[in-house]
Amino acid sequence: MATDTTVPSRTATALKRYTVMAYTVGVMLLVLVFVAIPLKYGFDVPEVSRIVSPVHGFLYIVYLLAAFDLALKARFTAKGTALVLLAGVVPFVSFWAERRVSRRVLAGQPL
């Protein structure tokens, strides 16, 4: 795999921010979907959802900013940008998208 030195430093920095946020949002979405929501609706324990939902919402907005910043710096296509932005709303997809985006950005390939 290529190293971060194959891309401009500002793109590498944006990629690192995106990677951190993709994993963070992915984990928070899994906690929301597989822990908080079942507790709220299956066991009538809404407290976890009251905490996790707004935290995930805030982190998703930060993810959007990081992904959009990377899209501008790495010159993603409009379609590629939209797909990366949407990757944070489907469980497990953010992990797959992060891997694919990282490989393509480091290889200098378009997205």
Percent of residues, the chain, with pLDDT higher than 90: 88
**76 inside domain:** yes
Quote the number of domains for the chain. Answer: 1
pLDDT, the chain, mean: 93
Look at residue 5 in the predicted model and tell me its pLDDT. 52
Is the Cβ–Cβ distance between 28 and 92 less than 8 Å?
no
Q: Over 80: is that where the pLDDT of 1 sits?
A: no
Q: Over 90: is that where the pLDDT of 7 sits?
A: no
Of 52, 108, 98, give the one whose Cα is nearest residue 76.
108
Neighbours of 71 (CB within 10 A): 22
**74 inside domain:** yes
Look at residue 4 in the predicted model and tell me its pLDDT. 45
Look at residue 22 in the predicted model and tell me its pLDDT. 97
**1 inside domain:** no
8 or 65, greater pLDDT: 65
Q: Which domain holds residue 99?
A: 8-107
Q: Within its chain, how far is the Cα of 101 from the centroid?
A: 10
Average pLDDT over residues 64-72: 97
CA angle at 93 for the pair 90 and 95, rounded to the nearest 5°: 135
Average pLDDT over residues 16-23: 98
Q: Over 70: is that where the pLDDT of 111 sits?
A: yes
